[in-house]
Amino acid sequence: MAQLSCPKCESKEATKSGIVGGRQRYKCKNCGYHYSVAKTGKETNPYYVIKALQLYVEGVSYREIERLLGVSHVSVMNWVKKYGVKAPRQTEYHPTYKILNQKELAEFFARPENLKGAGMMVTELGDKYMMIRWERFRQG
């Protein structure tokens, strides 16, 4: 058996524990964790992790972040937990956003009426830009 280390506790002591998906499975003698060799998972580019967390803090929902960035909403929830990110509770305002290319963004900022009021942010989103504005919830 090759000298593998446990992904959880780094121990080199393990026993074979069956085959799953055509790959040998091991059980760590130290902590009891089950793992396989050559874990096949894809690492997410840190750019998307940072963007997802920024959008979360800005009040964008998990599902919206999924649609915008193309990463699973479950991944976004896991990153929020992993990095301990807390979004401020928003009761009066809610975010709305538009995805614009560079020309559309320039045209938007060229109109003075679009610059009035507070609470606007522009962030890069791949080859486009996302403009987030905060609007008051309507009192009905």
Tell me the Cα Rg of the chain: 22
Q: Tell me what pLDDT residue 82 has.
A: 93
Whether pTM > 0.75 for this model: the answer is: no
pLDDT in tens, 34-92: 888 755 566 778 889 999 998 888 888 899 889 888 899 999 999 999 999 987 776 66
Question: d(Cα 41, Cα 60) in Å, to the nearest integer?
Answer: 27
Q: What are the φ and ψ backbone dihedral angles of 128, each rounded to 5 degrees? A: -120, -175
Q: Which of 22-26, 28-32, 69-73, 79-83 has the lowest mean pLDDT?
A: 22-26
In which band, very low, low, confident or very high, does the pLDDT at 140 lie, cut at 50, 70 and 90? very low
**14-20: strand order across its sheet:** 14-20, 23-28, 34-36
Neighbour tally for 79: CB within 10 Å: 19
The CATH number that domain 42-90 falls under is 1.10.10
Question: d(Cα 134, Cα 114) in Å, to the nearest integer?
Answer: 13
Task: Give the residue extent of every domain in the chain.
Answer: 1-41, 42-90, 92-139
Give the CA distances from residue 130 to residues 64, 93, 116, 122, in Å, rounded to whole numbers and listed in that order: 13, 18, 18, 6
